[in-house]
């Protein structure tokens, strides 16, 4: 069975940490492709991203241009709100069919919000949620999910845990550095930096 990793986020802006973590996770999973899925807005924030939808997609395109195993989808950008992760999973499930195993990459810090996800059991029925946690941090605790979702769903979560390299980069910090005139050339793709400067 083919494997495809879906990586959602606001990517405001996309940075080297996003790419390295997704690439590493895909290697552990054995995924042939990583599809970056920029969100119109963070599902747990009221505010819109700083960069426009088109600018964020343009920057992702620049960051992955030389990587044959990376792609980007605008399905969440073009879908009317509210846009749910389940909608995205169903879209790719219908596109790729049952011969492809889908993985949804999430950071371990997002686990606390998992119980709030729209129809989370349906999501876990259609794909595997791959929980990425950084080296040096404790393994995620799934005992709460066994109580809320049941043991079988908690088991699914625990089977797709990925320990990723420790990369201390955040889009928020990058925006702050740019605003204060600090260099970010080691944190983002040079073409993305050029785009930000020009725009």
Query: What average pLDDT score do residues 72-99 get?
Result: 93
* Digit-coded pLDDT (tens) for 25-58: 999 999 999 999 999 876 666 667 899 999 999 9
CA angle 137, 140, 100 (to 5 degrees): 115
* Digit-coded pLDDT (tens) for 129-185: 999 987 667 778 888 888 888 899 889 888 889 988 888 889 999 999 999 999 999
Q: Residue 116's pLDDT is what? A: 87
| Lowest-confidence segment of 9-13, 43-47, 95-99 by average pLDDT | 43-47
Q: Residue 183's pLDDT is what? A: 95
* Digit-coded pLDDT (tens) for 110-125: 888 888 899 999 999 9
- Sign (positive/negative) of CA torsion 108, 67, 56, 128? negative
């Amino acid at each position: 069975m083919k494997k495809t990793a879906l990586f959602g986020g606001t990517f405001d802006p996309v940075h080297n940490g996003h790419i390295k973590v997704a690439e590493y996770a895909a290697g552990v999973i054995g995924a042939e492709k990583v599809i970056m899925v920029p969100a119109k807005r963070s599902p747990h924030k009221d505010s819109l991203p700083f960069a426009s939808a088109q600018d964020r997609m343009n920057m992702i395109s620049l960051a992955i241009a030389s990587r044959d195993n990376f792609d980007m989808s605008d399905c969440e950008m073009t879908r009317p709100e509210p846009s749910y992760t389940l909608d995205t999973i169903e879209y790719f499930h219908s596109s790729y069919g049952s011969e492809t195993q889908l993985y949804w990459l999430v950071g371990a810090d997002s686990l606390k919000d998992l119980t709030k996800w729209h129809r989370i059991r349906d999501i876990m029925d259609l794909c595997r949620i791959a929980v990425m946690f950084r080296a040096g941090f404790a393994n995620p605790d799934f005992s709460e999910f066994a109580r809320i979702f049941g043991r079988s769903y908690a088991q699914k979560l625990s089977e797709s845990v990925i320990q990723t390299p420790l990369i201390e980069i955040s889009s928020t910090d990058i925006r702050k550095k740019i605003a204060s005139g600090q260099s970010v050339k080691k944190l983002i793709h040079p073409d993305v930096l050029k785009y930000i400067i020009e725009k």
